[in-house]
Structure 1
């Protein structure tokens, strides 16, 4: 099994903090977000490699992180891929980046866990993986109830039935049907990996993972696993401030 961490965005909403520094390497309590994510992968049976896909702008600094961090993740080989983009204007999008790594790292025959590089959560991944393996060869999506329908409109809003099958998926709707959202965490069994290229060819879209899941739900069963505990999507400086007081001071300095 392999993990793919999405880190090719340009995080413009966090400027100037991320103008010349990748968001996944922002430190929370003196530890990069990426390191927290890879820590979550360590206990998973069969997990032997974690690929990080980034862009030309941040490739060197992320490669340095991987080289320096490899000693801390002895059983998981770290690899960094450069998608060749240089700005938000020519980015491949999340699905485009997933397809890029699949083609460049021969992942068609590997089960794949995909995680957004700005995801922080305190739950362990073993329950998610166990659930997803039982639902294989179908895709499983990581879900979180943020308890706020208005706030949920910023994300992909998901509906599931008693069997945990996804029955609806709204990508950033104006009005959310529920407060259950997709948290950019996916389990793609090897049998489904090739469907990503099919989606891009059929729709011409390669931006959001939500668009892909919405398309896939209409063709095949997709299941949702609801995480408990805490979860944070690092979308802006205020979400950082909630996690580390250091960034509250940064806000004051920027606004002064």
Structure 2
């Protein structure tokens, strides 16, 4: 299984802090945002490589970081430069995933994660769940806020956690199960992934691909290590970055 980290955004909402520096490599306490995530994923049996897809502006910074992580992260780290240099020319998260798959000729099971989250759970449970189900999978958690549900993916599930339906940013959410940007796509479904955009899948948000896949193959959803608990810190703005630094260290 390859761990593919989507890290090609320009984080414009963080202003000067990320004008010339990638958000995933910002320090939070004694580690970076991305480093905290890889510390966990690196320990999962079966993960044999971390693929970081970034943009041309930040590729050199990521390469320097990866060189310094050789004695910290045990699995191979590969940096992929998508060639873009501005927010206006970005490929979008789905196209970045397809770019990395094509560039590296990837034909493995994939763990796909967004790079701007600090997590208080392990992806080991997610990987074990996908292996037990034998299907591609998404993560879900309870979201009591209707306003927040309207800004994310929302799923309907059966009693076996099979995904029955998924909507992106619904005005009238059919459940309180929100989908964060963490996915497992099995090798048997990669042909669907590769042809998703040409068949109408949205390009920008990673949730667009999950929505597309739910309509084309069997998917199951893993409860985020304790539904209803605050186990994910999404760093999307300067304010949330400051909150993370306060919570996890200066």
Q: Normalising by the residue count of structure 2, what TM-score does the alignment of the two structures yield?
A: 0.92
Distance across 1 between alignment mates of 2:97 and 2:156: 24
Larger deviation, residues 44-53 vs 141-150: 141-150
2:120 to 119, 122, 135: 122
- 8 Å CA contact 2:193–2:213 kept in 1: the answer is no
Residue of structure 1 equivalent to 2:241: 240
Aligned 8 A contact 2:201 2:212 in 1: no
Aligned residue for 2:180, secondary structure, equals strand
- Alignment correspondent of 1:46: 46
Asked whether the equivalents of residues 201 and 209 of structure 2 are also in contact (C-alpha less than 8 Å), the reply is no
In structure 1, what is the Cα distance between the partners aligned to 2:214 and 2:169? 17
How big is the shift at 1:204? 6.2
For the residue of structure 1 that corresponds to 2:31, the secondary structure is coil
Give, in angstroms, the shift of residue 181 of structure 1. Answer: 1.4
Aligned-pair distance for 1:177? 3.0
How far apart, CA to CA, are the structure 1 residues paired with 2:201 and 2:174? 27
In 1, the alpha carbon distance for the partners of 2:35 and 2:10 equals 19
Q: Distance in 2 between matches of 1:204 and 1:132?
A: 23
Corresponding residue number in structure 1 for 2:86: 87
Give the RMSD, CA atoms, in angstroms: 1.8
Equivalent position SS for 1:71: coil
CA contact (8 A) 1:150 1:175 kept: no
List alignment gaps of at least 5 residues for structure 1. 250-256
In structure 1, the residue matched to 2:152 is 155
Residues 1-256 of structure 1: matches in 2 within 5 Å?
A: 1-74=1-74, 76-108=75-107, 110-136=108-134, 138-203=135-200, 205-227=202-224, 228=226, 229=229, 230-245=231-246
SS in 2 for 1:52: strand
C-alpha displacement of 1:42: 2.1
| Native 8 Å contact 2:33 2:116 kept in 1 | yes
More displaced 10-residue stretch of structure 1: 203-212 or 126-135? 203-212
Cα displacement string for residues 137-172 of structure 1 (whole angstroms, at most 9, x for unaligned residues): x21002222332222222212222211111222212
Match of 1:252 in 2: none
Q: Which runs of 5+ in 2 are unaligned?
A: none
Bigger drift between 170-179 and 65-74 goes to: 170-179
Paired residue secondary structure (1:177):
coil
Structure 2 CA distance for aligned equivalents of residues 93 and 66 of structure 1? 23
Deviations 1:97-136 (A, max 9, x none): 110111111112x111011001221111111111101222
Residues in 1 aligned to 2:139 and 2:10: alpha-carbon distance in whole angstroms: 23
Aligned pairs, how many? 245
Q: Aligned with 1:72: secondary structure?
A: coil
Q: 1:221 Cα deviation (Å)? A: 1.2
- Checking the alignment, whether the CA contact within 8 Å between 2:9 and 2:90 is kept in structure 1 is yes
Q: Is the 8 A contact 1:95 1:196 kept in 2?
A: no
